[in-house]
């Protein structure tokens, strides 16, 4: 299987190369050259299988040529062994035709563990084979950084540095980043905002001497391997609810468009998905785009669902590539307009194609809190604010097909918002009860590129 860039100007790569590269050299994102198909019989055969087996069958054609079956099965087994639920992505019923898919049983209590845990194993395998080592640097508003640290802690093939904005992540998120004691883990608290963290990360990737010198690698949400790992739970949920004999819809709390794009890939592979519904908070660029065809950036307004406080949804470019008939030049032009003028208009044809697969909704802060409260009162379910945004939008789109809302984080990861809405302080799962007792290790850093680069060089030489 080969991967091509959405901007059409970068060389095609195998899966393992696309995974280590992240962003294509022409600034585009890697997508599979063709989408492997699963027949109704293949899909029916997934029913009742362990999650790991579903994962193997769904992802195998995408990684062909990069890892053997034995290697891949071993890495999948390691990736999900640390989850706190045997089903990995269990379904809970919320109403007559509405289900919640709990994606928060991984080690850092958010869905990002599904992809990051697997990526950690695959990086380790590929880098060991090459006899090389990389420096992973990431910027985070909380969930991505903790998931990356948890996935790479103790692995010999990588150092992992995570920049987070000092004082602006939740205590649970911070402790998940600062308490691992392995020497290859480096939590850096930057004096600034999340945007500053992202800007310095970008600067490091643009500083080619530094980039080559430390063998910089990224695991942010545009990495194709992350999207791929997220395709699996659409299959496990839909087959549990009757696919291939009946269609299922999904509502997905959305920021960077990675998670829901994985659902689109599942549909393109042949999975019986009716609608894919984008749920946004007040940062609603995707909802505006899907309803009007205008993709125009605005100021980010902080919300109680901070992992969705995003104005540019980087993975949306992958969908644009498809609705513009895989024309890399057209995509590159839209991205230039986005950069130069802060937005673009979709063509009428492209908008119509988007609307055949996707619907959307936007949820205010008040509605989010009210939904956390009512879900607890009527269903006994404590929702994190992101999942509440999803459930709220899903309720407006219930129809004949079963609806699955993805629950993207555990309520205990966002205790303040949950407690404000319900009066209940959501407890951490038993297996992480000692998070507050472990000692923390973090380095405060200035918002200064030179100082950051020097620190990273010193640490990896040590
Ligand atoms: C990252 C994240 C999201 C958004 O996911 P995207 O793939 O960026 O759309 C939603 N909820 C939580 C809890 C997250 O951590």
Quote the ligand 1 centre to 457 CA distance (angstroms): 31
448 located within any domain: no
The span from the CA of 273 to the CA of 235, in Å, is 10
For residue 250, give the 3-state DSSP assignment: strand
Read off the tokens for 181: 């004691």
Domain count, the chain: 1
Of residues 112, 267, 275, 413, which has the active-site annotation? 112
**Atom 1 of ligand 1, nearest CA residue:** 307
For residue 34, give the 3-state DSSP assignment: coil
Q: Which residues line ligand 1 (CB under 6 A)?
A: 110, 112, 143, 221, 253-259, 307-308, 386, 408-409
pLDDT tens digits for the chain (462 residues)? Answer: 999 999 999 999 999 999 998 888 898 999 999 999 999 999 999 999 999 999 999 999 999 999 999 999 999 999 999 999 999 999 999 999 999 999 999 999 999 999 999 999 999 999 999 999 999 999 998 889 999 999 999 999 999 999 999 998 888 999 999 999 999 999 999 998 888 898 899 889 888 899 999 999 988 888 999 999 999 999 999 999 999 999 999 999 999 999 999 999 999 999 999 999 999 999 999 999 999 999 999 888 989 999 998 888 889 999 999 999 999 999 999 999 998 999 999 999 999 999 999 999 999 999 999 999 999 999 999 999 999 999 999 999 999 999 999 999 999 999 999 999 999 999 999 999 899 999 999 999 999 999 999 999 999 987
Q: Which residues contact 143 (CB under 8 A, 6 or more apart)?
A: 108, 110, 112, 173, 307, 409, 413
Residues 121, 140: contact at Cβ < 8 Å? no
Quote the ligand 1 centre to 110 CA distance (angstroms): 8
For residue 411, give the 3-state DSSP assignment: helix
81 located within any domain: no
Read off the tokens for 329: 């030049």
300 located within any domain: yes
pTM: 0.96
450 located within any domain: no
Read off the tokens for 347: 């063509």
State yes or no: is 373 an active-site residue: no
332 located within any domain: yes
Q: Which of 111, 409, 426 to mutate to test the pocket of ligand 1 (most atoms within 8 A of CB)?
A: 111
Q: Which of 108, 109, 110 to mutate to test the pocket of ligand 1 (most atoms within 8 A of CB)?
A: 110
pLDDT at 303: 93
Of all atoms in ligand 1, which is nearest to the CA of residue 409?
13
Q: Which of 318, 408, 409, 418 to mutate to test the pocket of ligand 1 (most atoms within 8 A of CB)?
A: 408
Which residues does residue 4 pair with via DSSP β-bridges, in sequence order? Answer: 31
The span from the CA of 2 to the CA of 17, in Å, is 10
> Beta strand pairing status for 358-362 and 134-139?
unpaired
Of all atoms in ligand 1, which is nearest to the CA of residue 104?
13
pLDDT at 144: 92
The span from the CA of 61 to the CA of 34, in Å, is 10
DSSP string, 80-144: HHT-SSTTSS-EEEEETTEEEEE---STTSBTHHHHHHHHHHHHHHHHHHHT--EEEEEE-SSHH
Quote the ligand 1 centre to 390 CA distance (angstroms): 11
pLDDT at 312: 84
Quote the ligand 1 centre to 198 CA distance (angstroms): 16
Quote the ligand 1 centre to 307 CA distance (angstroms): 5
> Beta strand pairing status for 91-95 and 98-102?
antiparallel
Nearest to 52 by CA among 69, 77, 74, 75: 77
Of all atoms in ligand 1, which is nearest to the CA of residue 142?
15
pLDDT at 105: 98
190 located within any domain: no
User: CA 372, 89, 305 angle in degrees (round to 5)?
Assistant: 35
Domain CATH for 272: 3.40.50.1100
Domain that holds residue 262: 87-106+224-422
Give the H or E element holding residue 358: strand 358-362
pLDDT at 96: 95
44 located within any domain: no
257 located within any domain: yes
List C-alpha distances in Å: 279 to 12, 235, 251, 259, 342. Answer: 33, 20, 7, 11, 22
- Give the gyration radius of the chain's Cα atoms: 21
Q: Which of 150, 253, 281 to mutate to test the pocket of ligand 1 (most atoms within 8 A of CB)?
A: 253
pLDDT at 23: 84
Of all atoms in ligand 1, which is nearest to the CA of residue 384?
13
Quote the ligand 1 centre to 409 CA distance (angstroms): 8
Of all atoms in ligand 1, which is nearest to the CA of residue 143?
15
Residues 241, 97: contact at Cβ < 8 Å? no
Quote the ligand 1 centre to 328 CA distance (angstroms): 27
Residues 301, 282: contact at Cβ < 8 Å? yes
């Amino acid at each position: 299987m080969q991967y091509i860039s959405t901007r059409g100007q970068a060389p095609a790569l195998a899966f393992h190369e696309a995974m280590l590269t992240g962003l294509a050299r022409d600034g585009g994102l890697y997508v599979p050259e063709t989408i492997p198909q699963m027949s109704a019989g293949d899909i029916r055969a997934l029913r009742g299988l362990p999650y790991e087996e579903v994962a193997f069958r769904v992802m195998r054609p995408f990684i062909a040529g990069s890892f053997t079956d034995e290697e891949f099965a071993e890495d999948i087994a390691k990736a999900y062994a640390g989850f706190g639920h045997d089903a990995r992505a269990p379904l809970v019923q919320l109403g007559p035709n509405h289900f919640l898919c709990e994606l928060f049983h991984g080690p850092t209590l958010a869905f990002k563990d599904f992809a990051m845990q697997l990526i950690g194993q695959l990086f380790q395998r590929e880098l060991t084979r090459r006899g090389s080592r990389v420096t992973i640097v990431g910027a985070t508003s909380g969930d991505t950084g903790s998931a990356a640290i948890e996935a790479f802690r103790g692995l010999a093939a990588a150092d992992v540095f995570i920049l987070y904005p000092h004082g602006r992540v939740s205590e649970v998120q911070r402790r998940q980043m600062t308490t691992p004691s392995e020497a290859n883990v480096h939590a850096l608290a930057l004096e600034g905002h999340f945007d500053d963290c992202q800007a310095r990360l970008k600067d490091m990737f643009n500083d080619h001497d530094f980039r080559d010198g430390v063998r910089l690698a990224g695991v942010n949400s545009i990495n194709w391997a992350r999207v791929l790992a997220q395709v699996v739970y659409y299959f496990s949920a839909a087959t549990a609810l009757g696919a291939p004999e009946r269609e299922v819809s999904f509502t997905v709390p959305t920021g960077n468009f990675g998670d829901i794009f994985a659902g689109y890939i599942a549909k393109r592979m042949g999975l019986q998905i009716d609608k894919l519904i984008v749920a946004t908070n007040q940062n609603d660029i995707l909802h505006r785009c899907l309803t009007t065809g205008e993709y125009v950036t605005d100021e980010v307004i902080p919300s109680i669902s901070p992992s969705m406080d995003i104005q540019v949804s980087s993975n949306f470019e992958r969908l644009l590539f498809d609705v513009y008939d895989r024309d890399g030049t057209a995509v590159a032009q839209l991205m230039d307009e986005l950069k130069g003028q802060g937005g673009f208009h979709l063509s009428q044809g492209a908008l119509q194609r988007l609307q055949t697969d996707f619907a959307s909704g936007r949820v205010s802060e008040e509605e989010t809190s009210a939904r956390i409260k009512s879900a607890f009162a009527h269903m006994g379910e404590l929702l994190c604010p992101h999942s509440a945004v999803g459930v709220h939008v899903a309720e407006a789109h219930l129809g004949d097909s079963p609806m699955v809302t993805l629950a993207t984080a555990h309520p205990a990861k966002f205790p303040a918002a949950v407690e404000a809405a319900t009066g209940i302080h959501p407890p951490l799962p038993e297996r992480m009860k000692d998070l507050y007792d472990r000692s923390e290790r973090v380095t405060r850093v200035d918002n200064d590129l030179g100082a950051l680069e020097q620190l990273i060089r010193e640490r990896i030489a040590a």
